Amino acid sequence: MQDQDRIYTAALIVIGDEILSGRTHDKNIAQIASWLQVQGIRLAEVRVVADIRDAIVEAVNILRARNDYLFTTGGIGPTHDDITVDAVAHALGVEVVIHPEARAILESYYATRGGLNAGRLRMARVPQGADLIPNQMSGAPGIQIGNIFLMAGVPHITAQMLAALTGTLAGGLPLLTNTIGGWIAESEVATMLGEIEKAHPDCQIGSYPFFREGRVGANFVIRSTKADHLSQCTEALCAALEQHGLAFERGGI
């Protein structure tokens, strides 16, 4: 199932006016990004789109074609502004149908919670040909069709769905990282970082500055799929920082 030499990529579409209005701070980008890394899949791009069918359709069709996997979050709930299922079905050119197993799950879940009304039944709608992604938390399942995974917008529920998918997707070698951080202005070490990266072709070094407690600092993240190369690059960076008399901490600050 694994082809470790190739890089597997995923894209994510975050669907929801609440993110674009600034009202809700997205948590799913970081959550899904971290989960994908463990699966050996690289998150290549993210788009945040409004609750507008054509905007979702455009993003779905471009991103599913150029990535191994496409995830969406949001818009699969019971209300009128939940249009992800319809948009994905439209993008794929298939009908929206009631999934019998999803209906049964919802009937059972809502048996003690007031019964299955029209809004709740909306959550059994799927693009024709889809499978379900289990969700222990609120009954309403996620949806898989082809290489597309439709997940909840509420981060706790998304986490349940990711747990159900863990280990089921083909991936490559996970990207390994080391972090070195210090109260260092990245502009002091910019040339050094570039030279060390160039000398270690299987590694990338990212430099992430921050302001904290009124001081500037930076974390340098070394990434590679090869543990020995990662280690060599990390040691080269530590040696160079020492040589310049710059204090640092392994693991980052």
Residues 152-191 that bind a copy of itself (CB under 8 A): 153-154, 156-157, 175, 177, 185-191
Query: Residue 221: exposed, middle, or buried by beta-carbon count in 10 A (0-12, 13-18, 19+)?
Result: middle
Which position among 99, 120, 125, 200 is part of the footprint of a copy of itself (CB under 8 A)? 120
Q: How far is the CB of 129 from a copy of itself (least distance, A)?
A: 25
Examine residue 5 and tell whether it contacts a copy of itself (CB under 8 A). Answer: no
Least spacing, CB of residue 31 vs a copy of itself, in Å: 7
CB of 47 to a copy of itself, least distance (A): 5
Of the two residues 29 and 96, which places its CB atom closer to a copy of itself in the complex? 29
DSSP labels, 92-147 = HT--EEE-HHHHHHHHHHHTTTT---HHHHHTTEEETT-EEE--TTTS--EEEETT
Cβ proximity to a copy of itself: between 201 and 209 the closer is 209
Closest approach, Cβ 106 to a copy of itself, in A, equals 9
- Restricting to residues 193-252, which ones interact with a copy of itself according to CB under 8 A? 193-194, 197, 204-211, 216, 221, 223
Tell the smallest beta-carbon distance from residue 179 to a copy of itself (Å). 8
**Residue closer to a copy of itself (CB basis): 147 or 207:** 207
Task: Check residue 44 for interaction with a copy of itself (CB under 8 A).
Answer: yes
Nearest-approach distance from CB 151 to a copy of itself, in angstroms = 14
d(CA 237, CA 219): 12
Each as own residue / partner, the long-range contacts of residues 112-121 (CB below 8 Å, 24 or more positions apart, any chain) are 119/78, 119/79, 120/78
In this chain, which of 7, 17, 164, 174 binds a copy of itself, going by CB under 8 A? 17
In angstroms, rounded to a whole number, what is the distance separating the alpha carbons of residues 72 and 88? Answer: 10
**Residue from 2, 4, 54, 81 that binds a copy of itself (CB under 8 A)?**
81
Helices (H), the chain: 17-20, 28-38, 53-66, 84-92, 100-110, 118-122, 155-165, 186-199, 227-243
Q: Which helix (H) or strand (E) holds 201?
A: none
